[in-house]
Amino acid sequence: MDSAVLRFSEGNSFKEYRASIEASGDGYVVNFAFGRIGNVNQSGTKTSKPVSYECARGIFERLINEKLAKGYRDVGGGATKMVGSVNAKIQTGLRPQLLNMIDEDMLATLFESPAYMAQEKKDGVRRMIGKVGATVTGVNRKGEETGLPECIAQELRKFECDLVVDGEQIGDIFWMFDVLECEGEDLRKRPAKERYQIALGLCAVTLWPVQIVQAAFDRVGKRNLFDQIKASKGEGVVFKNCDAPYTPGRPNSGGAQLKYKFTSSATCRVMERNGDKRSVQLALDGGQGWIGVGNVTIPANFVIPRAGQIVEVRYLYAYKGGSLYQPVYLGVRKDHAVDKLDTLKYKAENLVEEDDS
């Protein structure tokens, strides 16, 4: 039957709205689903009982026109075509370089130092991509094969050479920030700045599904980039040592690649739902067991997670021995282990609390 997929992309907002007319009994219903691109959509119906096709078509058209008037664009009537394995946990042998967090007091040094470049930390999912011939494979942060939108794979097939690239995926857009293999050469030992220049050249010939994460190198450029990302409510900034190689894994501390987040996030375990409320109790790994870190409200456009599921929560800071302050639920995580308690960003003891209003 009739169906439509609409998408809205502006700043850090990447939303999708789906609508369809479906046969039901002796008539038709108009169903819809919505949510952030790449996440599980929330669903509902515009018809409490079956209606005639003419009536359903009228409801469907009004619904689509309302969304188009709000800035959505029609991308067709089908779901995003995926390539590669979605559920099978096939190890690829590829591992990403993971970053340690820095505090605000390190920013001035990194802005001033010519040894460091800066890039936006995109608010998506980490994705490495390997291309061998016409076969394009998505890889998650655990090194496992994962599904990849066909539109991204198609852009990477433009290159005759085999590739391994690294970046963030937001819906059906891949934001490339590094290239590890190209034209049969392992580039991991080359300086980060040189690898970025190669990535920049690759993305010069790709269209919207594959984009480059722009970099800044001098003090003014890095400061301006930082301010722009903060003003647009982006997730944060990554600082990379220009001369450093690509080293898989995460160092115990410091490292050649560092990240600063404007807000912090924690990967928590859901312990249980709070009665019939739209909130759940959270816990982190305390080393000897689960340690509660308070509750989080589940927005109406999310499915309430089950006990035992792993979820991501954004927060301002945490109280020592207490809970997350101003937690915001971001969704279920399938590629990340529960964070340890000592990784939380804690509230300074002498910090005067600001008025939330």
- CATH of 264-343 among 2.40.100.10, 2.40.50.140, 1.10.1740.10, 3.40.640.10: 2.40.50.140
Does the pLDDT of residue 202 top 70, yes or no?
yes
Q: Which two tokens stand for residue 332?
A: 């279920």
What is the β-pairing status of strands 279-285 and 73-74?
unpaired
Q: What residues are paired with 266 via a beta bridge?
A: 313
Q: What is the pLDDT of residue 11?
A: 64
Does the pLDDT of residue 123 top 80, yes or no?
no
| 227-254 pLDDT per residue, tens | 999 888 778 999 999 999 999 999 999 9
More confident position, 354 or 46 = 46
Nearby residues of 78 by Cβ (< 8 Å), 6 or more positions away: 3, 5
**Looking at the domain 82-261, which fold is it?**
D-amino Acid Aminotransferase; Chain A, domain 1 (3.30.470)
Which pTM value belongs to this model? 0.66
Tell me the pLDDT band of 125, cut-offs 50, 70 and 90.
confident
Q: What is the pLDDT of residue 349?
A: 44
Does the pLDDT of residue 7 top 60, yes or no?
yes
Q: What is the pLDDT of residue 355?
A: 33
More confident position, 352 or 260 = 260
Instruction: List the one residue out of 26, 24, 68 whose CA is nearest residue 46.
Output: 24
> Taking residues 102-108, what's their average pLDDT?
94
| 14-49 pLDDT per residue, tens | 788 888 888 888 888 998 888 776 555 677 889 988
Mean pLDDT of the chain: 88
Tell me the pLDDT band of 329, cut-offs 50, 70 and 90.
very high
> Taking residues 261-282, what's their average pLDDT?
93
Q: What is the pLDDT of residue 352?
A: 35
**Tokens 């039901």 map to which residue?**
24
> Is-contact 164 180, C-beta < 8 A?
yes
Does the pLDDT of residue 330 top 90, yes or no?
yes
**Does the fold of domain 264-343 match that of domain 82-261?**
no
Tell me the pLDDT band of 351, cut-offs 50, 70 and 90.
very low
Instruction: List the one residue out of 198, 217, 7 whose CA is nearest residue 111.
Output: 217
Instruction: List the one residue out of 286, 222, 285 whose CA is nearest residue 258.
Output: 222
Does the pLDDT of residue 338 top 60, yes or no?
yes
> Taking residues 194-222, what's their average pLDDT?
95
CA distance 242 to 275: 52
Q: Where are the domains of the chain?
A: 3-74, 82-261, 264-343
**Looking at the domain 3-74, which fold is it?**
q64v53_bacfr protein fold (2.20.140)
Tell me the pLDDT band of 13, cut-offs 50, 70 and 90.
low
Q: What is the pLDDT of residue 356?
A: 34
Three-class secondary structure assignment of the chain: CCEEEEEEEECCEEEEEEEEEEEECCEEEEEEEEEECCCCCEEEECCCCCECHHHHHHHHHHHHHHHHHCCCEECCCCCCCEECCCCCCCECCCCCECCEECCHHHHHHHHHCCCEEEEEECCCEEEEEEEECCEEEEECCCCEEECEEHHHHHHHCCCCCCEEEEEEEECCEEEEEEEEEECCEECCCCCHHHHHHHHHHHHCCCCCCEEECCEECCHHHHHHHHHHHHHCCCCEEEEEECCCCCCCECCCCCCCEEEEECCEEEEEEEEEECCCCCEEEEEEECCCCEEEEEEEECCCCCCCCCCCCEEEEEECEECCCCCEECCEEEEECCCCCCCEHHHCCECCCCCCCCCCC
Does the pLDDT of residue 350 top 60, yes or no?
no
Amino acid making up residue 62? R
Q: What is the pLDDT of residue 41?
A: 60
Q: What is the pLDDT of residue 354?
A: 34
> Taking residues 180-191, what's their average pLDDT?
97
Q: What is the pLDDT of residue 154?
A: 93
